[in-house]
Structures are given as structure tokens and as C-alpha cells.
């Protein structure tokens, strides 16, 4: 970093003023005197992330940190509502969740900070429905899911979610599946997505709801190790002709054939060029988007082509 030393005559004496012009030129910030100046390629940031996306965000961070060795991204995985509270309470300046800012939130930040945090779509995710390998049913309609979640089914299904409130999966189930109705009294709450899968693996009549990145990557040994006793259910296609059932594959997410599709967004409260801006740029451009694609999400910032294929023996 360059320092410009200025000498200004005052009453026949000289006052030395250190003008750290490079601080403004690079947009970096020194939050506390005596600590290293943060730049886009050096420094540490704490981020809050919806727990549904732990596998894919871990991969994003691993590649980002290997690209910029002087950068450290420390993720805190938690329920979506807690992530958004962290942003308001200044516990973090970057959150990764399933929605952008609402109009009331934009007004709040505009009034309190005099600027609005940036937010945008990174990828499309799907909520996968998983059942035990011994389950007789693995094909469901949306009416089947509503009956399970509300407790109005004659079958002895045990529904398990990654929490009973505050999580993005629960919010999606209430808003988009139940259309505002509450969850049934028999819905079981697990502490995490991994515990949802573990519960389904141990209970033949269980049905779990998890983000697709927890179950989609068949080449990840860390995921396949606890996926041996469960399978992904097929849901009735929302845009197909006839009675067609589909799994949350990328083409079905991209073409909105799969009914449980949601977005993955970032919200960044960083009005200088720091690590947060660089990490967001990384996720928005080719390498970061390919990581989303590798994790079986559908990248929102790059153009991919879906082609029909026939495989002949």
C-alpha cells in the first residue's frame, strides 16, 4: 500500500498529514486501528448461511479460499430467519438464503444505513422428498404432500423437517405447499438436514424434506455414505402432458417441471470493496456457477442448454 506524505506550512511549522490515498483507491477498509486492512483478496469475513445449502457453500468456500490464500470465509450455518437477524444486528455483512430483500426491508436499510444492501439470485434449488428404501411408496402428487404436512392423510406417514419454524424449508412448505395453513401436529423436527436424512433412513414410514444439494451429488462420498438407506421420491410434474412424475434433476429444475423449486440468493451489506464483494463475484461468475451446477442446483447467472437425448444400446 502506498502512503503519500504531505507537508503543509502552518505558522512557520510543518504538520505531517498521512494521506492514505490507496485506501480510497482500492475501496478497502480497516475496521479497527492496528488490524490489517481488508481488501478483496485478503482478510476474513463471517457469513451466515441457510443450513439447507451447507454442502454446496462449503464447496464454494473451499475453491474461493484456494484461489485467494490470504482470504478466510467463516460460515455459520443456521435457520434462514436467524441469518436475516444476523444481518440486521450487524453480526454479519453477508447472508445466503432463499429470498431477497422485501420492500419493507429495503426501506429499513435505506432509512437506517442510507444505502440498500445488494441482493440477487445465484442459483435455483429444489426441495427433495426422501423416503426409506423399504417404503412401498415413492411417487407423490402435491395433494399427497399437503395431506402429509397437514396431518390429513390416512396413511401412517411420519413427516420430518429441518425444524418446525424459522427454516427456509418449513417456510416453503407452509407458504407454497400448504398455502398458508400450519404444519400438522405430528410433523417431527430434526436439528439439521443431515439429521432429516438419518431419521428417514432409520424409520420405514418416514418422509423427509431437504435441499437437493444434500442428496443430489452421487459422486460426493460424504453424502453418499448416509444416503444408502434412503431414496429420492418422484413428484407429479407441474408442466407435463399426462400423468408424469419427475425427480429433482437439474433439467426438471430448469424447466420448472419439478414442483418444489426455490431460489438461492445472497444479501450483501458491504459498501466497500472487501472480501464479501469478491466472494459474491466469485459465486456469480463461471467457476462459482459451475460449482452450483456440480452440486445439482441450476445456475442462475450462466446460460446452460437442456437437450433431449436418446441412448441406444
Tell me, yes or no, whether 69 lies in a domain. no
Tell me, yes or no, whether 67 lies in a domain. no
Lowest mean pLDDT among 26-40, 147-161, 177-191: 26-40
Q: What is the mean pLDDT of the chain?
A: 86
- Concatenate the DSSP letters of all residues of 158-212 into one string: EEEES-SSSSHHHHHIIIIISTTPPPPTTPEEPSSHHHHHHHHHH-TTEEEEEEG
- SS3 state at 242: coil
Rounded-to-integer distance, Cα 87 and Cα 48, Å: 8
Tell me, yes or no, whether 193 lies in a domain. yes
Which among 261, 292, 308 is the end of a domain?
Answer: 261
Q: For residue 94, what pLDDT is reported?
A: 98
Q: Which domain holds residue 223?
A: 126-261
% of the chain with per-residue pLDDT over 90: 70
pLDDT band with cut points at 50, 70 and 90 for residue 242: confident
Residue 34 is placed in which grid cell?
Answer: 492496528
Rounded-to-integer distance, Cα 184 and Cα 259, Å: 21
% of the chain with per-residue pLDDT over 70: 81
Global pTM reads 0.84
Lowest mean pLDDT among 18-22, 74-78, 129-133, 217-221: 18-22
- Residue 174 pLDDT greater than 70, yes or no: yes
Q: For residue 41, what pLDDT is reported?
A: 96
User: What's the domain count of the chain?
Assistant: 2
Tell me, yes or no, whether 257 lies in a domain. yes
Tell me, yes or no, whether 22 lies in a domain. yes
Q: Which residue has the higher pLDDT, 302 or 95?
A: 95
256 and 146 housed in the same domain: yes
Rounded-to-integer distance, Cα 159 and Cα 271, Å: 43
Which among 214, 246, 261 is the end of a domain?
Answer: 261
Tell me, yes or no, whether 232 lies in a domain. yes
pLDDT band with cut points at 50, 70 and 90 for residue 171: very high
Tell me, yes or no, whether 183 lies in a domain. yes
CB environment 253-266: b (16+ within 10 A), e (fewer): bbbebbbbbbbbbb
Closest to 290 in 3D by CA, of 175, 40, 164, 123: 123
pLDDT tens-place string over residues 251-263:
999 998 999 999 9
18 and 132 housed in the same domain: no
10 and 131 housed in the same domain: no
Q: For residue 163, what pLDDT is reported?
A: 80
pLDDT tens-place string over residues 286-311:
999 999 999 999 999 987 666 666 66
Question: Which CATH number belongs to the domain containing residue 219 in this structure?
Answer: 3.40.190.10
- SS3 state at 113: helix
255 and 130 housed in the same domain: yes
The H or E element containing residue 87 is: helix 80-88
23 and 134 housed in the same domain: no
- Residue 175 pLDDT greater than 60, yes or no: yes
Rounded-to-integer distance, Cα 67 and Cα 62, Å: 9
3-state helix, strand, coil in the chain (%, to 5): 35, 25, 40
CB environment 209-240: b (16+ within 10 A), e (fewer): bbbbbbbbbeebeebeeebeebbbbbbbbeee
- Determine the average pLDDT of the residues in 67-92: 96
What is the DSSP-derived secondary structure letter of residue 38?
A: B
- Residue 24 pLDDT greater than 50, yes or no: no
Task: Determine if residue 242 is left, alpha or beta; phi over 0 gives left, psi from -120 to 50 gives alpha, anything else beta.
Answer: left
**Rounded (5°) CA angle 279-280-284:** 120
pLDDT band with cut points at 50, 70 and 90 for residue 200: very high
Phi, psi of 286 (to 5 degrees): -50, -50
pLDDT band with cut points at 50, 70 and 90 for residue 198: very high
- Residue 102 pLDDT greater than 60, yes or no: yes
Tell me, yes or no, whether 207 lies in a domain. yes
Chain center to CA of 257: 21
Amino acid at each position: 500500500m502506498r502512503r503519500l506524505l504531505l507537508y503543509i506550512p502552518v505558522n512557520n511549522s510543518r504538520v505531517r498529514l498521512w494521506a492514505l490515498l490507496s485506501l480510497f483507491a482500492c475501496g478497502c477498509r480497516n475496521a479497527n486501528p492496528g488490524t490489517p486492512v481488508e481488501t478483496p483478496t485478503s482478510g476474513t469475513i463471517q457469513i451466515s448461511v441457510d443450513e439447507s445449502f451447507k454442502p454446496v457453500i462449503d464447496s464454494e468456500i473451499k475453491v474461493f479460499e484456494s484461489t485467494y490464500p490470504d482470504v478466510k470465509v467463516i460460515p455459520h450455518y443456521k435457520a434462514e430467519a436467524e441469518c436475516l437477524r444476523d444481518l440486521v444486528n450487524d453480526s454479519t455483512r453477508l447472508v445466503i438464503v432463499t429470498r431477497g430483500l422485501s420492500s419493507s426491508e429495503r426501506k429499513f436499510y435505506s432509512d437506517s444505513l442510507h444505502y440498500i444492501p445488494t441482493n440477487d439470485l445465484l442459483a435455483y434449488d429444489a426441495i427433495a422428498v426422501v423416503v426409506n428404501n423399504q417404503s412401498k411408496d415413492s411417487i407423490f402428487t402435491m395433494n399427497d404432500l399437503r395431506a402429509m404436512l397437514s396431518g390429513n392423510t390416512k396413511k401412517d406417514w411420519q413427516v420430518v423437517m429441518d425444524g418446525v419454524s424459522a427454516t427456509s424449508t418449513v417456510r416453503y412448505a407452509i407458504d407454497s405447499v400448504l398455502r398458508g395453513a400450519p404444519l400438522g401436529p405430528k410433523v417431527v423436527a430434526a436439528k439439521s438436514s443431515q439429521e432429516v436424512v438419518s431419521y428417514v433412513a432409520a424409520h420405514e414410514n418416514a418422509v423427509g424434506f431437504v435441499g437437493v444439494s444434500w442428496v443430489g451429488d452421487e459422486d460426493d462420498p460424504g453424502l453418499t455414505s448416509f444416503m444408502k438407506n434412503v431414496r429420492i421420491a418422484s413428484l407429479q410434474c407441474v408442466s407435463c402432458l399426462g400423468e408424469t412424475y419427475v425427480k429433482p434433476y437439474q433439467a426438471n429444475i430448469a424447466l420448472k417441471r419439478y414442483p418444489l423449486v426455490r431460489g438461492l440468493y445472497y444479501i450483501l451489506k458491504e459498501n466497500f470493496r472487501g472480501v464479501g464483494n469478491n466472494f459474491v463475484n466469485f459465486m456469480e461468475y463461471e467457476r462459482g456457477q459451475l460449482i452450483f451446477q456440480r452440486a445439482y442446483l441450476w445456475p442462475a447467472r450462466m446460460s446452460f442448454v437442456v437437450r433431449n437425448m436418446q441412448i441406444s444400446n
